[in-house]
Structure formats: C-alpha cells, structure tokens
Structure 1
Amino acid sequence: MRDFPSSKLLEKFSSSLQYVEDHLPIPDEYKNRKLVAPPIVVVNQLFAGGDGCHQDRRLQARPHQECTGGQVCARAHPDRPANDRREPAEIRHVTSVDAHKIHLCSSRSDAFTTHILLHEVCHSNGPHHIVNCPEDTVRSRLQEFHSQIEEAKADIAGLFAAALLIKSGVIENVKPEEFWVTFLASAFRSIRFGITEAHGAGQAAQFNYLLDTGGFVHDASTGRYSVDFTRIEQAVSDLTRDILILQGDGDKELVHAFVTRYANNRPETRRTLERIEGAGVPVDIRPIYTVEKLFPHEPEVEATEEKIARLLAEAGFL
C-alpha cells in the first residue's frame, strides 16, 4: 500500500538529482544537463513470496532504463515504517565485531537507510550513453560488466551525494562521519551475499579501492578497520570520478581490468568475514509479516532438509 506522507518526504532527494549531477567530479561532457528524476514512492509491504521472501529489502528499485533511471520504489515493512530509526541488527553486530571501537557511536540507521535511498536515485546520475558515441549505451558497451560497475556507481555516487547534500542543507539529520562509518560496516554485509552477485562485487570493488587510497584503514595487528576522516571524502570523490569516466568511455577492457583488480576478497577481508561468521552475525533477517499471523498456513509435515535426506537414502546415495 502506498504511503503518501512518507513519499512526499522523499521528493527532496529526487528533486536534488540535477544539483548532484552538476557537482559530480567529472568533466562536463560526462554530465547529463537534462537529467530526468525518477518518480519515487514509499509503500508498505504486506507480504513477500518467492525468491525474495527471505529478504528484508527496505528499498528496491525497478529495472532502471538507460535514459531516466526508471521508477524507484521504497518498500517498508508495515511494522517498521520508512522513518523507523532502529539500526539494522546485522549492521550493528558487524560494526561491533569488525570496526574500531571509536567508530561504534557513528554507525546509525538514519545513515544506512538514507544511503540506500540515495543509491537507488543515483542510478540516474552520470553518463548512460558513450560520450564520444552517443548512439551507444553504457550497457551495450560494457555487457557482462555493466551490472557490477553500475551498482558500484550507484553506491559511491550516493555516498558522494550524501556529503554534498549535507553541505547544501538538504540532509540535516545525518553527519558525514556517520555515513562513512556506516558504509564501512555495511560493506561486509553486502560482500557476504557473495561477490559473484552484482551488488557484492560492486561493494568489494569500492571497499578495496577506498582501502588502497587511504579512506579506509586496516590495522593488521588487531584485524579491525577504521575510517580516516582526513582522507575519506577525497577518496570517495576520486572513486566516483573513476567509475563515471569508465562508464562514459565505454572501454570494456579498462572496466575488466578495474573489476579484476578491485572486485575480489583479499586475504584480510576473508579473515574478517570468517570472524563475523564465527560471531554468529546473520547475513540478513527474515521479516515476520502481520498478515501471516492473521492467516496462518498449515506447517509442512516434513522439513525440506529431512525430506531430501530421506529421498537420497531411499535412492541409495546415503
């Protein structure tokens, strides 16, 4: 069901897209001077089924088109409205396991949910056609690498936009430091979904780039990570620039080299993921919908795992 009051609150983000576009750290020929802001709405999700039923997706974008970014839909669990300020449990626990103690107070749900929103609307930003060959789209040139680089673009451009919109007064309830620290913690959440998936690969690429450029810092003696507040803003700007130029140039080989270099789990990252797993931090949560309580279904007589084991045993494989 559409949440009209909350949707009204979100219009300020989509209406700021041209302002963000005009201030992107890229040459003018890569910018879209007539950017069309996608419509954005909030709906209360009553129930989810199928492949997505086990995921608590606060925000989800419909497939974005090359020219406009498509329609974006922010979906909220009816028991947890769009302006819910509780921090996602998995982000809070990852922060406590992984991040430096001085950063714990800077990881906030406002930063998490606002950045997700900015991620979705920032799919519209940057070049969607090749700069020196406007009839070709970025998608057609980059082919199998398009999804990874596009998700990385939306993430890092959203983080760039966050700092920009704080300075312009559009975002008033989150500090830049809170965005950066929460982004660091949430990186591990995305990577845990797997780097063969576009969001995970894009997040791994950003994480490694920001480590290499000094925005993020890894302490080898403790295995913990922190944000260098003196370098992170410039590192985010540089990564935003590099990805947008890669897209605008449409050079598949250069994008392949970028993905190969950055979209991977390095040894220290794998060790951190093992610690997070060992601490019992969930990858995600499964929402319990009110409608399920109102209309309970009959439980299966036999659990799926037990049924599979029984069938394998009967077939002689066990």
Structure 2
Amino acid sequence: MLKPTLISLVLVSLLNACSQPESHSPTLTEASNTQIAQDYQHMLNRFVDVDMHTDLSALSKQDIQVLKKLIQVADILDVIYLKQTYENNAQIRKAIIDSNSPHQSTLLSLFDLHYGPWDTLEADKPFFGDTKRPDGAGVYPVDMTREEFNQWIAAHPEDEAAFKSGYTVIVREGDKLKAIPYSQYYATELQAAAKLMQEAAALTHDKSLRIFLLKRADAFLNDQYRDSEMAWMDLTGQLEVAIGPYETYTDKLFGYKTFFEAFITVRNPEDSAKLAVYKKYLTQMELNLPIQDQYKNLQRGSESPISVVDQIAGGGDNKPGVQTVAFNLPNDEYVREVKGSKKVMLKNVLNAKYQAIMQPISSLIISKEQQPLLMEKYFFNETLFHELSHGLGPGTLTLNGRETSVSEELKETYSKIEEGKADVMGAYNMLFLMDKGELPKTERQNMLVTYFAGLFRSMRFGIHEAHGAGAAFQYNFFKEKQAFTFDKQTQTYKVNFVELEMAISDLVKEITMIQALGDYQAAKAFLAKYAVLDDDVASINQKMASIPTDIKPHYPKL
C-alpha cells in the first residue's frame, strides 16, 4: 500500500506545480494555472475520441448474454492490470480525487487513459507527483535491481523456474525474495473472473468457445495455461475472444512477466476467408529468410489461422494509451512449435486509425510526387504481415546444449527487437508474395511508400515503447543505407525504391541473426545505435503536432 507519507509527498509535489506562493501576483498565478491546464489538455488531445460501431445483428440472444459475461471478465482484468502496472495505483488515483487541484478532472482523465500517473507517450514522464515509473512495474519490488534478482537465483537455483515464470509476482519478505503465483496474488479477482467464464461457457452453443472458457477458468485458478492456449487456437465460432495474461511489454526489467488483458471481438468470416490463402506460404516464407538454413525454424506448427474481427470491448493491457490494431498469440513457444499461432486483425480499430491518423500523416510527410502511391490496402496488409512475421524466425533455441528461447535470452531488449523485426519482415514477406504473384507486382511501390510512411506513426509512440523503438531502428537503418531522401525545405520524404528493398533484406538478416544467436549484448548495441530519435524525425513530429497520436475508442454498451 502507499504509505501516508508518500501520498503527502505526491500531493505536495502536485500543489507546488499547480500553484504559486502568496507573494506572487494573482495574474502570475492565473497565467501559470492556465498554462498547466493547456499542457494537460494537449496531453489528452493527442488521443482523438472515436465512436466504434459493430454490426451484431447476426448474433443470437444467447451470444449477447455470453458477451455481457465476458465484458464483465474484461472489467475484472482491468482491475488486475492496474495493480500489475504499479502496486500503488489505486492509492495514487485516490490522492488525485482528494487533492484540491483545479485540474483534478483532467488529471483523472489522464490517469485513466494511461493506467497510472505517467505519460506513456513521453517516456513515462510523471504528470502527477514525481515518482519514477519502476521498470519492474508492480510485479517486482520497486527497489529490486536486475543484479539482486540474478544474485538471488545464483544463490537459490531451485527458485529460478518460479522467478522467471510469466505467472508469478516477486515480493520481498524481510531480507528474502519470494515468487507468488498469480492465482494466489490476484486470487479475489481471478476467482470472480473464472466464475463468470464458467457461466458464459454454460450459456454458449459454441463448443470450441465453451472448451476454451472452461480451460481458461481452470488456468486462472492453477496458473497452468498451456491447455487453454491450445484450446484458444481452435476457436471457430462468431465470437473471437482472447482473455488472460499475455504480453510482457510492461515488464521493462526483464520482460519475463505477462500482463492481463482481454479482447472481446466478433469475427468477420468473409474477410477472414479472403486472407486464409497466405497461410499456405508460411513455410516458404521461413525458407526465404535471408539467413543460413541452420537458423530457420522449420519445426514450428503451421496451423496459423487468421481472423478478421471487429472489437466490441477490451480490458487490461489492451486499453491504456496506444490501441492495439492486431495481435498474434499465443506467446508460449511450445504451443507455437506444436500448433503455430493465430493472427487476429481488429478491422474497425485499423480503419479508425487509418482515417484519423495515417491519412493526415502521409499527406504531410510524403513528397507530392509519391503521394498517389499511398494505399490504405497496404496499411492493412503491413499490419497483417507484421503479425504473420511474429510467427517466423527463431523461437526456441539450443545454446551450448541448453534449451532456451529468444525472449529469455534477449531479456528486456526482446520486445523492441521483436516488434521491429515483425515490421520489416512483414514488408520483406509482401515483396516475396509479389514475386509469387499472390500480391500484385504492379503495387510494389505502393506497398513500399505506405510501409515507410507507417514508421512515422509508430515513432510518435516514443522510443521507450516497443513499437516506437522498432520503427525508429528501421528508419535509422534505412537512412544509413540511403533508402530515402529528406527535403529539409518542404520537410517531406521520398523513397528510393531499389535501395529500400535491399535495406529491408539486410535489416531482416541482421535482426534475425541477433535472435538466432540469442545475443543479448548485440541486441543492446543495436538498439543503442539505431533505436534513437533522429533530428529530422523530431522536427517532423513538431510538424505533426496537430495530428492525433492515437485514437480513444468508445464502444457501445450491449
């Protein structure tokens, strides 16, 4: 819990920032408060409100009842995620409510938007109080260092599996460290969520959904997730739901711990069927990677279904800050090796982002002569092939006779490396399918310009964030390879097509080899060199200041 002294410090810091001493003139105070109000409002304005619509007319009354239960589960995962992000978040929110700040309403909106008192678009800079966001979020002791964690495991090797598990919280008990399973640490919330999933399972006529919900409910109570991950791969009905602890982005200490989230969506069977053709090329895409055969992952499962869906609700890690447009799950390497992974495209979210953000960015930064080459189709396709590419390349590794994985070896660098890899490999694979005739060869330049423009949307998330860092290292690598030119007078970019294609291949090779070798030091050095904000990009970001950074979706109540 947040100690009273810490709450006091947070409030004093806020009040010092939001008011002036009595000796200052009222005019100065008013000016200061006005500027603070404008700064806070600017932070909110970076997210444009969008009313999301989904056609639910094909769903039965029972389907609607199932959805209502699952939305309740999503709300519970919201509560868990708030704790996972920072153990004292609830107390800090209460401190905002109890404060006398004239900006209380805006501060609450910002807190609820970012799930904490830190601006996720500005390297987690605090907007309330001055507490630094802990790298270990709320799943490690705030004062624990990487060295202490590693030293504990070295001294207590029997604890290694539990400490590195994605489903435990590390706590301090006196002078000892201890791993507590999620099912115990978040017992109240997970038991309530499991009950709702069991009730939803009893209502649905969809056998595959019933099996998944029951297995996932069991996993919430025993921390054994593999069976339910397998069952999730087999979902075939109209309701496509992902519920559980998945991504590790918020764990910036090691990238070990998973964070709870929920995607409640409705499948679009027609659009899903159109994209199914790409699945048959997954093995060929793996074989086509520009690395030696010994590093290619040809054992990974190839089921890899693709679902195009409309989202109707979300929870937990799915909701704060920048909105997810697609996901590729599960992350369990064993399940990926056996069954592959599923790619889920959130069509209504993608469309909203293209219209509100991507179109105005592209019209601002791409040279006039290449403007006609931009195509919404390739904004969608780059997202699809980004997700397909998450399932390609090294996954499980054998290093010096030891079985491990890319994510475990690359630690906190993994998310940034992997997101950038999926981006550039997505473009690489679209070029491959154009050579195969599955995508129109005549649209090669359309794809390249649209892909390049998309990097600027992601870089606005900040290089502290995985997708933003991944976009930045692509941009800087391509700059080094002279794959584009920048006109400082017009502040617009022009793609050099031949050079960009070569740079894409070179970057796929370099990143994939870092992963194949599990080379943590090489990953750190690569990010230090390339995952930086270029001066021209910083200037462009100022030029794009009036364009929203992302959307804030509002889903209708059922």
Q: Per the shorter chain, which TM-score range?
A: 0.7 to 0.9
* Matched position secondary structure for 2:494: strand
Checking the alignment, whether the CA contact within 8 Å between 1:32 and 1:127 is kept in structure 2 is yes
| Matching of residue 255 in structure 1 with residue 526 in structure 2 | no
| Matching of residue 98 in structure 1 with residue 359 in structure 2 | no
Task: Choose from 71, 77, 85 the match for 2:342.
Answer: 71
Query: Which segment drifts farther, 26-35 or 164-173?
Result: 164-173
Gaps of 5+ in 1: 296-318
Report how many aligned residue pairs link the two structures. Answer: 286
Give the structure with higher Rg (CA). 2
Checking the alignment, whether the CA contact within 8 Å between 1:21 and 1:31 is kept in structure 2 is yes
Gaps of 5+ in 2: 1-265
Which residue is equivalent to 1:46? 312
Which residue is equivalent to 1:36? 301
Partner Cα distance (1:6, 1:113) in 2: 12
One-letter amino acid of the counterpart of residue 45, structure 1: Q
One-letter amino acid of the counterpart of residue 217, structure 1: T
Deviation per CA, 1:183-221: give whole Å up to 9, x if none.
221111111112111111111111110111111222334
Task: Choose from 281, 294, 309 the match for 2:547.
Answer: 281
Deviation per CA, 1:245-272: give whole Å up to 9, x if none.
0110111111111000000102111111
Higher relative strand content: 2
Which residue is equivalent to 2:395? 128
Shift of 1:55: 5.7
Partner Cα distance (2:456, 2:386) in 1: 17
Partner Cα distance (1:71, 1:154) in 2: 15
Partner Cα distance (1:174, 1:152) in 2: 26
Which residue is equivalent to 1:315? none
Give the TM-score of the pair, scaled to structure 1.
0.82
Partner Cα distance (2:464, 2:504) in 1: 23
Which residue is equivalent to 1:26? 291
Shift of 1:10: 1.7
One-letter amino acid of the counterpart of residue 282, structure 1: P
Q: 1:131 to 1:102 in 2, by over 3 A?
A: farther
Partner Cα distance (1:252, 1:56) in 2: 29
Partner Cα distance (2:521, 2:305) in 1: 34
Which residue is equivalent to 1:157? 425
Partner Cα distance (1:52, 1:86) in 2: 15
| Matching of residue 14 in structure 1 with residue 279 in structure 2 | yes
Checking the alignment, whether the CA contact within 8 Å between 2:352 and 2:551 is kept in structure 1 is no
Deviation per CA, 1:122-150: give whole Å up to 9, x if none.
11111113365461211111100011101
| Matching of residue 5 in structure 1 with residue 257 in structure 2 | no
Which residue is equivalent to 2:512? 244
Partner Cα distance (1:189, 1:87) in 2: 10
* Matched position secondary structure for 2:410: helix
* Matched position secondary structure for 1:194: coil
Checking the alignment, whether the CA contact within 8 Å between 2:267 and 2:307 is kept in structure 1 is yes
* Matched position secondary structure for 1:225: strand
Checking the alignment, whether the CA contact within 8 Å between 2:353 and 2:551 is kept in structure 1 is no
Q: 1:86 to 1:168 in 2, by over 3 A?
A: farther
Partner Cα distance (2:355, 2:503) in 1: 26
Which residue is equivalent to 1:307? none
Which residue is equivalent to 1:269? 537
Partner Cα distance (2:290, 2:434) in 1: 17
Q: 1:31 to 1:98 in 2, by over 3 A?
A: same
Bigger relative contact order (CA 8 A; separation at least 6): 1
After superposition, the CA RMSD in angstroms is 2.4
One-letter amino acid of the counterpart of residue 305, structure 2: P
Task: Choose from 216, 228, 232 the match for 2:484.
Answer: 216
Partner Cα distance (1:128, 1:261) in 2: 24
Query: Which segment drifts farther, 130-139 or 23-32?
Result: 130-139
Identity of aligned residues (%): 31
Which residue is equivalent to 1:148? 416
